[in-house]
Structure 1
Amino acid sequence: MWAKTLFFLIGYALLYGLILSNQFDIGTMLGLAALLGVFAACIGFNVSHDALHGAFSARPWVNKLLGGSFYLLGANPYVWKISHNIVHHTFTNIPGHDEDIEVAPGLVRLDPQDSLKPWHRYQQWYTFPLYALTSLSWVLRKDYVKFFKNRIGHHNTSTHPRVEYVKLFVAKLLYYVFFLVLPIAVLSLTWWQVLIGFLVMHLAEGLMLGLVFQLAHVVEGTTFPLPDERGNMQDAWAIHQLCTTANFAPRSKLAAFLCGGLNRQIEHHLFPKICHIHYPAITDIVKRTAHEFNLPYLENRSFHSALYSHFRLLQTLGRPA
Structure 2
Amino acid sequence: MGMNKQSHHIDPSQLWEIHGKYYDLTPFIARHPGGKRMLLLSKGMDCTEVFESTHIFDNLPKKMLPKFFVADNPNYKPTYSWEPDGFYNTLRKRVQVYLTEQSNLLDGKKKYSFDTHHGSGWFLVRLVLLFIFSWAATWFGIIEGNLYICAIWPLIAMSFGGYGHEALHAGLFNSVWKNRAVAFFSMDLLGLSSYVYSVVHITGHHAHTNVEEVDPDMVAFYPNIRTFPSQKRYFPHRFQQYYAWPIYFCSLFFANIMDIITFITKKWINIRVERPYFLEFVLFFFFKTAAISILIVLPFFLHDTSKALTIVLLTTGVTGFLINLTFAVNHKNNEAIDYLTNDKRGNDLTKYDWGEFQILTTCNFQHGHWFTDMIFAGLTHQVEHHLFPMISYQHLPKISLIVQETCKDFDIKYNLYPTYFAACKAHFKYLKDLGREPSLENVESVASSS
Instruction: Choose from 148, 157, 161 the match for 1:44.
Output: 161
| Cα deviation code 1:247-301 (max 9, x no counterpart) | 0112244321212321111000001000000011111110110111011211111
| Greater alpha carbon shift after TM alignment, 175-184 vs 243-252 | 175-184
Is the 8 Å Cα contact of residues 248 and 306 (structure 1) preserved in structure 2?
yes
Gaps of 5+ in 1: none
Matched with 1:281 is: 398
SS at match of 2:209: coil
Cα distance in 1, alignment partners of residues 420 and 325 from structure 2: 10
Which residue does 2:318 correspond to in 1?
204
Larger Rg: 2
1:7 counterpart = 2:135:
no
Tell me the secondary structure at the aligned position of residue 364 of structure 2: strand
Length, aligned pairs only: 309
Secondary structure at 1:221's aligned position in 2?
helix
**Alpha-carbon distance between aligned partners in 1 of 2:151 and 2:203, rounded to the nearest angstrom:** 31
Q: Residue 175 of structure 2 corresponds to which residue in structure 1?
A: 59
Which one of the candidate residues 424, 431, 437 is aligned to 1:320? 437
1:294 counterpart SS class:
coil
Identity among equivalent positions (%) equals 26
Aligned partner of 1:31 in structure 2 is 148
Q: Which moves more between the two structures, 196-205 or 151-160?
A: 151-160
**Residue of structure 1 in register with 2:422 after alignment:** 305
Cα contact 1:16–1:36 (8 A) shared by 2: yes
**1:146-225 alignment, distance < 5 Å:** 146-152=262-268, 155-185=271-301, 187=302, 189-223=303-337
Are the counterparts in 2 of residues 149 and 158 from structure 1 also a CA contact under 8 Å?
A: no
* Conserved? CA contact 2:216–2:270, under 8 Å: no
What's the CA shift string for 1:114-134, capped at 9, x where partnerless? Answer: 111111111122213321222
Can you give the 5+ residue segments of structure 2 that lack an aligned partner in the other structure? 1-122, 341-345, 439-450
Q: In the alignment, is the contact (CA less than 8 A) between 1:250 and 1:301 conserved in 2?
A: yes
CA distance in 1 between counterparts of 2:400 and 2:136 reads: 35
Deviates more, 1:122-131 or 1:155-164: 155-164
**Separation in 2, partners of 1:86, 1:275:** 19
Partner of 2:203: 86
Separation (CA, whole Å) in 2 of partners of 1:35 and 1:67: 21
8 A Cα contact 2:258 2:268, kept in partner: no
2:351 partner SS: coil
Whether 1:271 aligns to 2:382 is no
Moved segments of 4+, more than 6 Å = none
RMSD over equivalenced CA pairs, Å:
2.2
Displacement of 1:177 in angstroms is: 2.8
The one-letter code matched in structure 1 to 2:336 is T
Which residue in 1 is equivalent to 2:261? 145
| Deviation at residue 30 of structure 1 after TM alignment | 2.5
The residue correspondences of 1:244-259 to structure 2 (distance < 5 A) are 244-259=361-376
After TM superposition, the score normalised by the length of structure 1 is 0.88
| CA offset digits 1:148-199 (Å, max 9, x no partner) | 34444664324432333322222222223333454444x3x22453243123
The alpha carbon displacement at 1:87 in A equals: 1.0
Aligned to 1:74: 191
Which gives a bigger RCO, structure 1 or 2 (Cα 8 Å, sep 6+)?
A: 1
Amino acid at match of 1:86: T
